[in-house]
A and B are shown apart, each in its own frame.
Chain A
Amino acid sequence: MEALSSLIDGFGVLGDPANIMYMFIGITLGVLIGVLPGLGGANGVAILLPLTFTMSPTSAIIMLSCIYWGALFGGAITSVLFNIPGEPWSVATTFDGYPLAQQGRAGEALTAAFTSSFVGALIAVVILTFLAPLVADFALEFGPAELFAVQLLTFCSFVGMGKEPPFKTLAAMMFGFALAAVGQDPTTGQLRMTFGWYELLRGFDFLIAVIGLFGIGEILLTMEEGLAFRGKSAKINPRIVLQTWAQLPRYWVTALRGAIVGCWMGITPGGATPASFMSYGLAKRMSKRGPNFGNGELEGVVAPETAAHAAGTSALLPMLTLGIPGSPTAAVLLGGLLIWGLQPGPLLFIEQPDFVWGLIASMYLGNVAGLIVVLTTVPLFAAILRIPFSIIAPVIVTICAVGAYTVNNALLDMSFMLIFGVIGYVFKKLNYPLAPLVLALVLGDMAESNFRNAMVLSDGNVSIFWSNGLVGSICGLAVFMLFWPAISAGLRHLRGTTSHLPAE
């Protein structure tokens, strides 16, 4: 099969020892980032992105995606040991992970979490390997109207499937678009919304926004509960690992289900976080051990972790094939690709096969390497977290400031980072979702130019968006997603008046 031979070529790209080294560096950095609050997946990749400008795009993306893996793995460490989710998608892992740690079974919990992550990601990568070329081929037919429709669907899905109030989701998203529009209009070169401020010529860089929103904002949020960072100790040795591995095959149904949920949520822009919750909820309802979830059930760790990692991995599928990132971190990676002059989308597979398949091959190896690294270094990372927050917090802020500066060598960007940090803090507290904001910021210019090109093609006729079956169905689905909250509220109201439902 063509996919397999391309994959093997991809592994050849990895044969370069420099790339292997970047892989391990990336994973180690990634786990560190995943473990420290405020340096989450999206933020960490954003900070380290400018450092990779001197590397070749292939090496750079390998290292960055391994950072991504590392962060995925690392988030579980703090969830289990400290009951603090290192990443939003590790929240569900705390439900059973921390109780296990409290019972002295932290080693088992961590082994289960890491192994589940490995399995979830592996299944997702295999699916990605075979599905990606198919989707890319299919997407070659896409014109600007279709591309805009897909992006529209992405954003409408946030409104439809997000937990946050739809008005706020729309507001956050549009805010992101507005921020993306600041600066020079890519088509006409006119200055938009700079209000005479020369520094805004470049517009807002999404990296600055990500570092501020997810980095500084996260730290401010963590600070609310004060500086306590007391965690359970973890003893993880080969015996515990093997013992846990012996137990895990029992949960293969949960793992498989989690992986499928994760792949689905990752490809459609749901993301790893809802995937982990959904998988946990499903497992709780469908498993024999369900009632015991929340008290330290290994299965309660397997479910969310497989889903979260499958989702995180498969989020890369739409990013590579369609240019639609399925998660904020994928959005940052997408931004990086754009900076290197690589245009994600169907043409990428044709024009840059080395890059694409090298990346996909690195996902396999990165996953394996990640599992090894993380199993062996847990005590080290747990020790790092014992460093008092009064030292760690300013160091993290300094690193964020460095990250913000290195994007454009502009001092002003650090102040913007701070402003975004406060925005991130307030938004999170008020339940405004940040992911659509970031996605809009990254995709804003692209979406607008697709829209404009489509309009030019149709001579100003909006009906181009339902002119053929493909566009029409995508747009139809998008509109449906957009109004889903209203529809489901209406349905609930109808049902509620005719039957007595137990209070949720």
Chain B
Amino acid sequence: MQDQEHTGGGLVSARAVDIVVALIMVGIGALVMADSLRLGAGWAEDGPQSGYFPFYIGLIIVVVSLGTVALAVFGRKQNRDAFVHSVQLRHVLRVLAPTVGFIALIGLIGIYVASAFFIGASMRWLGRFRWRTIVVVSIAVPFALFLLFEIWFLVPLPKGPLEDFLGY
């Protein structure tokens, strides 16, 4: 794996994130336990109640995650590294943010048109291609997908106003 030295620019320590995530897990476990108690976590006449299994699952999550918190706070082997460096985070967000937009768009304009914008935007902002290449690729790929899924595999994917207009 590429192992570059990231000096400085660490945003938050791995230990801090560890504790936060473990606390979130405790919360999730508590939620599971709460809902299981609502359903009943004991014994009905014919077997365990619906909440029996999940209750103990939630309990284990709570106990184990509290253990993780304890280890992170008091443990000997402290991970002092950064969870993520700002450079790395920037790279990740450059893919994550457009992806969120992409998924949101799919519901509105269908996956084929959305992916055309997605690929085009990615090529422009992440890749710096010439407009001509961008247009060609970002139309060709969804088109190929369209042929593959709608025509060949006959698997319907979310479509939007453009496809309605074209009669699909």
Report which A residues bind B (CB closer than 8 A): 50-51, 54, 83-85, 91, 94, 165, 167-168, 170-171, 174-175, 177-178, 181, 185, 187-188, 190, 192-193, 195, 216, 219-220, 223-228, 388-391, 393-395, 397-398, 401-402, 405-406, 409, 411, 414-415, 418, 422, 425-426, 429-430, 448, 451-452, 455-456, 460
Contact = CB atoms under 8 A, between A and B. Distances in A.
Contact of B47 (A168, A181, A455): A455
B61 A171 contact: yes
Interface string B151-168: 001111110000000000
Interface in B28-57: 28-29, 31-32, 35-36, 39, 43, 46-54, 57
Nearest to B61: A174
A391 B136 CA distance: 12
B94 A448 contact: no
B95 A51 contact: no
A414 B95 contact: no
B126 A227 contact: yes
Interface string B107-140: 1000100010011001100110100000001000
Q: How large is the interface on B (under 10, 10 to 19, 20 to 34, 35 or more residues)?
A: 35 or more
A450 to B, nearest CB: 11
B48 A430 contact: no
A185 B1 contact: no
A53 to B, nearest CB: 9
Contact of B53 (A94, A225, A452): A452
Given A91-B1, A390-B126, A398-B118, A429 B100 contact: no
Summarize A's interface: helix, strand, loop or mixed: helix
Most B-side CB within 10 Å, residue of A225, A390, A402, A409? A390
B99 interface: yes
B149 interface: yes
Contacts, number: 181
Contact of A177 (B57, B91, B94, B98): B57
Given A388-B127, A394-B122, A429 B156 contact: no
B13 to A, nearest CB: 12
Given A91-B1, A402-B149, 6 more contacts: A181-B54, A192-B51, A193-B54, A220-B95, A391-B137, A415-B103
Contact of A83 (B1, B51, B58, B158): B1
29 contacts: A51-B155, A170-B60, A170-B64, A171-B68, A174-B61, A175-B28, A178-B29, A178-B32, A192-B35, A192-B39, A192-B51, A216-B99, A219-B95, A220-B92, A223-B91, A223-B94, A390-B126, A397-B102, A397-B118, A398-B102, A398-B115, A401-B106, A405-B157, A406-B155, A429-B17, A430-B21, A451-B53, A452-B47, A460-B47
A429 B103 contact: no
Contacts of A409: 156
Summarize B's interface: helix, strand, loop or mixed: helix
A460 B45 CA distance: 10
A448 B49 CA distance: 12
B7 interface: no
A402 to B, nearest CB: 6
Nearest to B52: A452
B11 interface: no
Contacts of B154: 54
B9 interface: no
Nearest to A425: B92
A181 B57 contact: yes
Nearest to A50: B155
Nearest to A397: B99
A415 B87 CA distance: 26
Contact of A393 (B57, B95, B111, B141): B95
B92 A402 contact: no
